[in-house]
Amino acid sequence: MSLEPATVRRIAKLARLGIDDAEIAQLQVELGGILGWIEQLSELDVEGVEPISGVGQAALRMRADVVTDGATREAVLSNAPDRAGPFFSVPKVVE
Amino acid sequence: MMLTDLSLAGALRGLERREFSSRELTQAHLEAIEQLNPRLNAFITVTGEQALEAAEAADRTRAGGEAAALTGAPLGIKDLFCTEGVRTTAASRILQNFVPPYESTVTAQLKRDGAVVLGKTNLDEFAMGSSNMNSAYGPVENPWQRRGEVARRVPGGAAGGPPAAVAARLPRGATGTDTGGSIRQPASFCGIVGIKPTYGRCSRWGVVAFASSLDQAGPLARTVEDCAILLGSMAGFDPKDSTSVDRPVPDYRAACGCSVKGLRIGVPVEYRSPGMSAEIEALWRQGVDWLREAGCEIVDVSLPHTKYGLATYYIVAPAECSSNLARYDGVRFGERVEGETLDALYERSRAAGFGPEVRRRILIGTYVLSSGYYDAFYLRAQKVRSLILRDFSEAFQRVDALLTPTAPSAAFAQGEKMDDPVTMYLNDIFTVPASMAGIPGLSVPGGLDEAGLPLGLQLLGRPFDEESLFALGSVLEKAAGFTHLPAVRAGAAS
């Protein structure tokens, strides 16, 4: 199984992952190989089986809706690759 | 005997009796790291100064007549646990300058109990891999070699640093995380003990996320008892992790000496894969005999969906990975590559920051979650996961624990299995099903193969029954009498 180049480009776009045109051919083969292999699950009958997203026994715990921390602006911004005062900076997004 | 030769329990005893100080012990480990890390590459960051300060503080605590479970014991921390003020890379370029302003719950608990942190150990990037060849900080070498060969072998993965370091006696013990086998498979490859506890037993808070429904922290050490001591500090309820389970932490160390008489041990027929090597099959049979001699009853059981475990894993884990790793956007933290537009900034930052295996998994995960493929891949995998869980639940109605080999082979050479990602994935065949079911698994060294490389046996237990695994693991450990040593280790002539 080999993926179409357009499919590789589409999922890379969805994942916001830049890929060079030169990488496409190899990714077609690698991703196609993995997907072809995991497709073996289609031979199983899963009619009526309840899907699970994890193994937690019950519903996730909820905490009280109260403020638990705050006033940590410098800590939050301490790893920002680029900041402008108390803000994260990004390229202009609105014309 | 050198200080670095002692087990964790032995070192704690020596500290208690004032035979040596934590400073002397820590110094011995730092010297061993200085000598061997340039070759093994087991540590990404060594925090020598902080370690010595912590050791001196531990010595003062002991001098004051107080001591906690780990006071003065030098450990390695997988570089996936956030450590306040100490760079945490997840072995990725994208986090090469990331200094967390907070501490993970697991490492905070180890420090609370007096542990001395020697540094941050190497791993496959974001814990994705089975060989530790995928680290942005270079591969880790397994301290074990085939007899008469010099080819460097992999320590297993995703976390090759902790077991390689522990086997070479650089730290006393180390933390790991296990998503599909990343504690158990490398423990087997490096001839040490490792346990993945039940999902929910250790807090995931502050651990860099890979696949959140599978990730679970656990210890690696040279003996079963050492792992029990470490898990006792690492485990426990944490309100900051919504999947953390609120139940008391038992005395795991006490469980190590418990009788296993009358326990029923299941041998899953499906783990006898056709290609299994005769040596691994023989070791497995030997393990069964050891447990029978200790008074266990051996029962054949069936886990019919075993063969689908890996394929299910390689849908679920990449799906969760693609979602978790969306946070690396070049804006809030991590490396940035500038672009004219916001999308260009995202795409360039992520292309430059992630290595090939991480990119592959993000792409696979995005594909199986994308419109039109979700039902055929992700939803189907969630249903098969349900069947895998049911297999284990049914088996545990008849038996108390399961015994299997840990990995389908001994450590392979660096560079092997690199051509096809699927070949590499097959390494996790025996460890992945337990991860999918969230049950605890312990790997214990059982013996050497004919080339002199260690092979592990895996015990799987009911949810939250780590105690039975420690009891059974101690029996296997004693019967195996595994005293072999790797070629490369602290104190060995190099």
Tokens of B298: 């051996």
Residue B494 has pLDDT above 60, yes or no: no
Of residues B366, B367, B330, the one with CA closest to residue B350: B330
Put simply, the answer to whether A37 touches B199 (Cβ < 8 Å) is no
| SS3 state of residue B216 | strand
- A67-73 mean pLDDT: 90
Put simply, the answer to whether A60 touches B314 (Cβ < 8 Å) is no
Tens digit of each residue's pLDDT (9 = 90 or more) over A29-57 = 999 999 999 999 999 999 999 999 888 76
Tens digit of each residue's pLDDT (9 = 90 or more) over B91-149 = 999 999 999 999 999 999 999 999 999 999 999 999 998 888 899 999 999 999 999 88
User: Residue B44 — pLDDT band, cuts 50, 70, 90?
Assistant: very high
A6 has a chain B CB within 8 A of its CB: no
The pLDDT of residue B493 is 58
What's the gap in Å between the CA of A74 and the closest CA on chain B?
9
A37 has a chain B CB within 8 A of its CB: yes
Put simply, the answer to whether B387 touches A44 (Cβ < 8 Å) is yes
Surface of A (42-71) touching B: CB under 8 A? 42, 44, 46, 49-56, 60-61, 63
Of residues B487, B416, B415, the one with CA closest to residue B454: B487
ipTM: 0.95
Q: Where are the beta strands (DSSP E) in chain A?
A: 83-84, 87-88
A19 has a chain B CB within 8 A of its CB: yes
A11 has a chain B CB within 8 A of its CB: yes
User: Residue A58 — pLDDT band, cuts 50, 70, 90?
Assistant: low
Tens digit of each residue's pLDDT (9 = 90 or more) over B211-270 = 999 999 999 999 999 999 999 999 999 999 999 999 999 999 999 999 999 999 999 999
**Measured distance CA(B175)–CA(B187) in Å, rounded:** 12
The residue written with tokens 């590559």 in the block is B337
Tokens of B439: 């049950």
Tokens of B79: 């570089």
> What are the backbone angles phi and psi of residue B56, rounded to the nearest 5°?
-65, -40
Residues of chain A contacting B364 with CB distance shorter than 8 Å? 31, 34-35
Q: Which residue of B has its CA nearest to A50?
A: B383
Per-residue exposure over B376-398, b if at least 16 CB sit within 10 Å of its own CB, e if not:
ebbebbbbbbbbbbbbbeebbee
Distance of CA A76 to the CA centre of its chain: 22
Put simply, the answer to whether B422 touches A37 (Cβ < 8 Å) is yes
Tens digit of each residue's pLDDT (9 = 90 or more) over B285-310 = 999 999 999 999 999 999 999 999 99
Residue B461 host element (H or E)? strand B454-461
The pLDDT of residue B421 is 77
| B234 within 8 A of B202, measured Cβ to Cβ | yes
Q: What's the CATH class of domain B12-260+440-454+461-480? A: alpha beta
- A71-90 mean pLDDT: 94
The pLDDT of residue B187 is 96
**Measured distance CA(B377)–CA(B350) in Å, rounded:** 25
Considering only CB atoms, A80 lies closest to which of B314, B333, B339, namely: B333
- The DSSP-derived string for B245-280 is ---PPP-HHHHTT---TT-EEEEEGGG--TT--HHH
Tens digit of each residue's pLDDT (9 = 90 or more) over B398-426 = 999 999 999 998 998 888 877 777 877 88
A22 has a chain B CB within 8 A of its CB: no
C-beta atoms surrounding B290 within 10 Å: 20
